[in-house]
Structure 1
């Protein structure tokens, strides 16, 4: 019996055979596919798929993660489409099912979930050795994080402004931050994909704000700058809180980026 791998939607996928043509609608997955040495099989990606920079330039764009160009994907004749529950619209994916034979759904919610993500794609695309290599690197980082102790910090991780938006505790970002004992506030769970996972906040009606030790302004999806930090530091509502920029890619991108991302957080959490 041929090996099969089960994706986040519960669909079992057999090892791809014959000509393989992959379109990825997930930036971090595109990067992971290159890390699995699938360069020759990647035929389409979104405009937000920017890593690895020297290789993605050769891959045609098919719109954005949500504003997808259906006709562009059809013209590429993909055998496999990689999507993500948080990042891609379900209606778009359902439309693509009409002509894409294999749709692989991903939904990592913790850094540890990357191990099954590596195995999933490694099995489907016959890159098991490369997947094991990535798993060893990630496991080493996870062991390093577990072996170290960090003081507890309540953090507000901001991803957008006008309106201000943050992350629920059951998101991948919040799980990454927990590796260094940073607990996100407010204490909310997002549940199913949607706005609840990335709630809007009103600083004038946020009693929990008094408990926040550190405010982190992410570089994506909104590109916060030092000017935004300086503005918040002048706001009396945030007096006494540490306010700083943080690399959103290293914290929110799963896949191969998680290995570097955990090292980045370990360094940040240990800094005075």
Structure 2
């Protein structure tokens, strides 16, 4: 899981390329220290959110490969060669592009794929944001490595402002316990330690059940049945448009099963990190306000 972005390279990143003032902290989620690469980098992104982020950092001209799920910004990515999917990367296609850097994510890409790529790609940058706030470190990392520090700072300021708006909203609208649906037959939701749950919590929506995927025997995306006792604590059901394509037609069915109000949610606004994070938080704030008024 991982939206339409019309900013492109001219909005946040154009003209913002600069040599780094500091290389301190350019450490990825795997603990690897990365050196400054600047305009010499040839980048393959295996993560849709990171592909969008590269364009918003003004780095689109250095992107030489992406997955078929990297669909934003729509017009810009069409000219970038595809290298398969996030889970089924075509290794030889990547090799043919001669990348200096490949961007991956712990949740979205397979360890075996990363190990195979590491045999011929000089730099593998591993990412794993767990909360919206973690995007600040992500901006710093990619902005620092690829010489887009100013654009990274702008994205960070925008994210801080969006999170401040979310914090203010929670003083106006009471928090709610929600069920966030990502799949149907079997019905599936998200654990508390996912990026999705953290994004929802930022605007005052706390996911049930209260489980973490890191707990023994727990799943990050648990299946459930409608007779589960914890469902009694749910106040609202949110139906995500991805990975399952929930639509308006499903709202009545789910509301009947849960005995609670239900609403459709743009899954990209909740699950995509990177430059989508600030817009996602603001979108959720607006949705919370509208549902509160409707209630």
- Output the TM-score relative to the length of structure 1: 0.94
Counterpart of 1:199 in 2: which secondary structure? Answer: coil
Aligned partner of 1:76 among 84, 97, 113: 97
Structure 2 counterpart SS, 1:244: strand
Q: Pick the aligned partner of 1:12 from 12, 24, 33.
A: 33
Quick one: which of 76, 94, 98 aligns to 2:115?
94
Distance 2:248 2:261 in 1: 13
Alpha-carbon distance in 1 for matches of 2:261, 2:255: 8
Task: Map 1:134-145 to 2 at 5 A.
Answer: 134-145=155-166
Aligned residue pairs: how many?
267
Residues 133-154 of structure 1 show CA distances to partners (whole Å, capped at 9, x for unaligned) of 1111111111122223221211
Contact 1:217 1:245 (C-alpha < 8 Å) held by counterparts: yes
Moved over 6 A (4+): none
Matched, 1:157 2:171: no
Listed as ranges, the gaps of 5+ residues in structure 1 are: none
**C-alpha distance in 2 between matches for 1:254 and 1:103:** 19
Taking a change above 3 Å as real, the CA distance of residues 7 and 225 of structure 1, as seen in their structure-2 partners, is same
Query: How far has the Cα of 1:222 moved from its partner?
Result: 1.1
Correspondent of 1:232 among 254, 260, 263: 254
**Which segment drifts farther, 121-130 or 158-167?**
158-167
- CA-atom RMSD in angstroms: 1.7
> What do residues 157-214 of structure 1 show as CA deviations (whole Å, max 9, x unaligned)?
011112211111011111111112111000100128x98111111223x101111111
From 177, 190, 193, the equivalent of 2:213 is 190
Q: Is the 8 A contact 1:24 1:30 kept in 2?
A: yes
Give 1:264's aligned residue: 283
- Quote the residue 1:3 is aligned against: 23
Name the structure 1 match of 2:86.
65
User: What does residue 250 of structure 1 align with?
Assistant: 269
Provide the rounded CA distance (Å) in 2 between the counterparts of 1:136 and 1:122: 14
Q: Distance in 1 between the 2:245 and 2:55 partners?
A: 25
Cα distance, 1:114–1:182 mapped onto 2, change above 3 Å: same
TM-score by length of 2: 0.87
